[in-house]
Amino acid sequence: MLCTEDIVVKKGSTRQPSPIATVERTVQDVDTHLPGPFMQEEDPIGKKGFSDAVWRKFSLDGVPPQGTVLIRWVRTDRVELIREDELEILHRQLYVGDVVMRGPGSTESGVVINVNSRCSLLPMGTATVKSNGKSLLSLSTFDDSTDSVRLSKQPPHLLDVPVSELQYEESPAEDDMIVYKGWLGKVLSMSCHLSLRLTDNSVVEVDEEVVELLSQAPELPRIGDVVKTKKANLRTGVWKFGRYNANVPPIGTVVSSRPVSIEVGWVSERLVGSIEHHEPPNVLERDEFESEHFRVYDRSRKPAASMDLPMVSNSEVEITMGLRVRFRDLAGAAVKYDGAGTFGKIERIPRQDTLGYDMNVFEVSSVSATVTVQWQDLSITTEPSTALIPDTAIDDEHAAWPGEAAHTLAASKIDGLSRPHQVGIIQSVKAAERMARIRWCPEASVAYTQPDKITEEGDVAEMVEAVVAIATGDTAEVSLYDLDAAAELNVRRGDVVLLDSGNVYRDLSRGAGDVCWLGEVVDTQLDGLLLIRLGLSDEVRDVALKREDVRVVIRSDGTDVLDDGGEDDTDEEDSAWDMDTDSEGDDADEVTDEEEAVYQDENGDPMDIDEAENEDWESDEGGVDVDTDIPEGDLPPAVSINSIAHGLDLSAGIHSISAHHSQATEPTTLSGPLPYLILSTAIPPSHHFASQPSSSNPATTKRIGKEHRILSSPDALPQGVYVRSWDSRLDLFRVLFIGPLGTPYASAPFIIDFYLPTDYPHGPPQAHFHSWPGESGLGGTGGVNPNLYETGKICLSLLGTWESGAKTEGWSSSKSTLLQVIVSILGLVLVPEPYFNEAGYEPLAGQEGSKRPSALYNERTFLRANGFVIGAVAALRARNSAALLPGMHDLQEELRWLYLKHAGPRLLDVVIERVEGILERSQAGSAEVDGSAVMSKGATIPLSRIAARLRSLTEA
């Protein structure tokens, strides 16, 4: 399997050297699936051997077809869609701190603790430029079709060179970390002047913007490149040797590059010692970056007495194909690479031959690497990087690795804060069983805020105290579903940290100029301490510090310091996309009712027009006239309600509706609650949109009436869906969904509030999902579905909160209806494998590498969904309106009938039977874990507690 950024060649290539390419898109890497790939390329994308249908699909969604990848040829910058089996991998770049697996579907993953890279180097060649001018040049940018340059000597490659012997061609370079006056920053870009050695052996300095490579390659010129410019630029340049001669062609070799300004993105100021509170300018001039206050952070520096300990990470120079490098010790390298062995020979270029400029620059022509990995079971192996793949599994909130800090989900509420019962350090993990060995930290203390409620603004629990200390307590085997390895507690190898303890800083400091307030994590020890390398200190040292003594400012995986849990940073209004307004024209703000109506029921079958547009319809409340002149659109073609089984036997008995709905003019006995009902009670304060204004627009009111008529049609609503509205606010709805059978949501209750806004139907309905926190210790944390956020946000194209890429799936004022939204939630969100609801993950369905992540997601979702059952039934058993969870008001009797009443389907008993069946099969250990019928050992531990809690609710 190929991965993004792999270096590849075509199998059987006869060209020497073989052209190389970089993988840019794969089916597995959803972050690369940008639609419209053609719009991002100047030249056409190569498509040899693909049908028109396959090509059209790729041109729209940007997802490579199964078994193919999109590659970019390094030399020509040409992009091509090609089959994987036509390519051979040369190199896969992995970094310290990366999480890897041995292959798709692997149960165990590990952390890269060291990378040992080796490369082949291409020295400078000798050429004749124009007539008789001699020059050195980089062979990689040499273009043999150019009559201005003729290659006269090509030295051999240097082979199997350890990257530890190399350094960058120039410093600083883009992406380097730098320190200036107590601030840490990252080099974003540089403006440079280039010194050009012309064919008459003169040297002139010009701005890099006025030259271009003779080969017309897109890269910026570097040392060793032959470039051309205009004579006017030579005339106005700064002459280092010689002077301007109009007879000398404006062609030369770059012999040096000098920065004149550096653009910096500042990350943070130092946290201890003498602090400079004023942020430096974003652009540093020469007098600033050449001062004593400016330093480049070389992360490849090691302690002087360093021993290559197996658990201590050592960063390397990040080597890529085409990178220009120098030897750290050229004299020593010349002795090692003397031609006597198979590694090649360095032919040193004396400075006196190049006017004092150091032209001993080499270009990386190939790379290979072996990586050392610590696996979850604590074993350590060393293997080629190409034998491993990055672990791209998402939303596994219960994954953990040795050395990580974790706390129990079970917590106590003390002084308004939630405090986990225990905190410890992961010692090892049995990935297949979802079990971990953890050693407790007796002196640890972690606390979270306890917000009154979770709002759309994201007012969720926030960690306000985190002291891990040292693991000196007992060791226990614990389910991963009972632990949370919170991001706020943890670091990764390769993370850059700032010292956050004045006392520790004073102990470490060896003078005013000693930069010991900045370091890199090189080991996460099993006792909880972090080994930090002070790489900018005058004397590089590795020091063991407590987690609370440092603060992470740059994560090695490129993510933010603290993730936001996966939800978009933008506001809901900003993320909403342009809806389909084909039929609205210039009068989109006007709600019209003159379009021809084509009605369909919930199965997509035609409805009788007289039934759908009966103007004499009245609500069950009596006296609420509802006009029905606006057409209902098609239901999603991918959803077949007849295929969604809920297991609700509504013929189980005749039910007498309680006095809760006694104000309504409904029959006194029904075969279960009515699927659709308008209530005469007051709007419950818990309705998320109760404070939103209602529309006075007659057309909007008429359209709202049409929605009610559609919802009230016989058999319009799928079984297991209950819609409630109020005669005082017909634009507000509360909908109860009972999770479909065959999904991890089976028989669980989910409640969503809807609001038809004042611009309806020009704008889509607004929706809010009532996410209920699970009871402590029952394994249910986090969201219940990638599209149902804990904040209440629902990602759905029909609601305008998710752009699917297909225009027809968005909201249409003339075709879409609230029924269509309800059916979409039931059939497209509450699905058998919700893992693939994650944005862009639909193409991964059916792939070998997705089976285990999907099964694990189902395990967690099943635990979480049953927490909804426990929450609802416990609230009903309390027989106290104050105990009702948000969203339950005006649906409590329906829930009581569904879960508890003997006349109803007794879903509580159904859920208990299902849970006990899963426990029995899972504990037998004879079947493969699939996350549905059979679960891991780690999942059965909280599931056993769920079973006990459910049984206790039958006796309440």
**Eight-class DSSP state of 25:** E
Candidates 3, 441, 516, 795; catalytic one: 795
The rounded distance, in Å, linking the Cα atoms of 125 and 141 is: 11
Are residues 208 and 193 in contact, defined by beta-carbon separation less than 8 angstroms? yes
- List phi, psi (to 5°) of 525: -75, 155
- Cβ of 319: how many Cβ atoms within 10 Å? 20
SS3 of 68, please? Answer: strand
**Eight-class DSSP state of 925:** -
- List phi, psi (to 5°) of 936: -70, 165
Angle between helices 907-924 and 892-899 (to 10 degrees): 50
SS3 of 645, please? Answer: coil
Angle between helices 937-954 and 848-878 (to 10 degrees): 20
Residue 948, both tokens = 């006990």
- C-alpha triplet 35, 38, 42: angle, nearest 5°: 140
- C-alpha triplet 849, 852, 857: angle, nearest 5°: 125
Are residues 373 and 110 in contact, defined by beta-carbon separation less than 8 angstroms? yes
DSSP string for 353-366: GGTT-----EEEEE
Handedness of CA 634, 635, 640, 642 (dihedral sign): negative
The rounded distance, in Å, linking the Cα atoms of 165 and 264 is: 28
SS3 of 160, please? Answer: strand
Q: Has 119 been annotated as catalytic? A: no
Tokens 């005013």 appear where? 512
The rounded distance, in Å, linking the Cα atoms of 901 and 905 is: 8
Nearest to 774 by CA among 484, 568, 569: 484
Are residues 427 and 402 in contact, defined by beta-carbon separation less than 8 angstroms? yes
The rounded distance, in Å, linking the Cα atoms of 695 and 703 is: 11
Which H helix or E strand runs over 399? none
Are residues 853 and 763 in contact, defined by beta-carbon separation less than 8 angstroms? no
- What phi-psi label fits residue 139: left (phi over 0), alpha (psi between -120 and 50 degrees) or beta? alpha
Handedness of CA 467, 468, 472, 476 (dihedral sign): positive
DSSP alpha helix (H) spans, 760-847: 818-824
DSSP string for 584-595: TGGGTTS----S
Nearest to 28 by CA among 63, 77, 76: 63
β 463-467/158-162 pair status: unpaired
For 426, residues 6+ apart whose C-beta sits below 8 A from its C-beta are: 400, 401, 402, 403, 404, 405, 406, 436, 437, 438, 485
The rounded distance, in Å, linking the Cα atoms of 912 and 950 is: 6
Are residues 68 and 85 in contact, defined by beta-carbon separation less than 8 angstroms? no
DSSP alpha helix (H) spans, 194-262: 231-235
DSSP string for 406-446: EEES-EEEETTEEEES-EEEEEEEETTTTEEEEEE-TT-EE
Count of positions (residues) in the chain:
956
Are residues 668 and 657 in contact, defined by beta-carbon separation less than 8 angstroms? yes
Which H helix or E strand runs over 390? strand 389-390
Q: Which residues are catalytic?
A: 795
